[in-house]
Amino acid sequence: MAKIKPQTLLLQSKKKKGPSRVSISTIIVYCLLVGVIAVLLFTSYRHWSKRSTGQTGANFSNFEDADATQDSKKYDLPGYAIMNTPKGYITVELFKDTAPEIVDKFLDFCQKGHFKGMPFHHVIKHYVIQGGDAEGLGAAEDWISKEKLRTKLITSPKHEAFTLGTTKSKQGGKKFGFFITTAPIPDLNDRLIVFGRVVKGQDVVQEIEEVDTDERYQPKSSIGIIDVTLKKEI
C-alpha cells in the first residue's frame, strides 16, 4: 500500500475544512428577497399608521362638522328684514340667537310674500304699530285702555322703543302678526316675544304712528307694507 505524503494530506485537509464558495447569483437572489421583505414591511406600517390616524381624525371631524353644520344653518339665515312702506324703509335686525323659532317663522312668511301689500291694522301713538294678520292681535286696543299705562311709559327700562315682537298667544300656522313698539312699554313684556329691533327707519315708524286713526286705532287711510326684502348683512 502506497504511502501518502504529508504535504498531500495537508492540502486535502484544507480543502475539507475551508468554506464552500457561494455563487454571485445566489447572493443577488438573497438581496432581492431581503429588499422585497423590507418594502412589504414598510408599506404595511405606513398603511396601518395612516388608518389609525385617519380614524382618530374622523372622530374629531365628525364633531366639528356637526357643530359647523348647526352654526352654518344659523348664520346662513338672513339677519335683516327691510320693510318698504309708503313712508319709507324700515330696517329690522332679527334676533336669530334669542328667538330662533319665531325668526324662522317670520322669514318663512317673508319668503312666501305673506306680508306683501298687507296693511298696518292698528296704529297707536306712543305705543305700537301693528302689522301682519289682524286676527288674534286686536288686543292692542285693550292694552292701551289701561290707565296705569301712561305712568309706566316713562319709568320702565324693560321694554325699549322700536323693538319688533309678536304676541305670545298661539297663532294659526297660516297667520303671523307683529308689533313695532314706539315707546318703552312694560305691559308688553308678558305678552310679546321680542324677535328683532329697528336699526334704520325709526323716523319712518314715527311717521306711521302719526297717521289719523278712528276710535278703534285703525288708520283712516290705508298704509301698509309694499314688500319685504331679506338680507344677511346691511
Residue partners of 224: CB distance under 8 A and separation at least 6: 85, 86, 117, 118, 119, 120, 131
Q: What per-residue confidence (pLDDT) applies to 80?
A: 97
Residue 131: closest CA among 150, 118, 149, 113: 118
Q: What is the pLDDT of residues 106-156, one digit of tens each?
A: 999 999 999 999 999 999 998 899 998 765 444 555 555 553 444 444 333
Q: Where are the domains of the chain?
A: 25-76, 80-231
Decide: pTM greater than 0.85. no
Nearest Cα residue to 157 out of 184, 190, 121: 184
CATH number of 80-231: 2.40.100.10
Using an 8 Å Cβ cutoff, are 196 and 92 in contact? Answer: yes
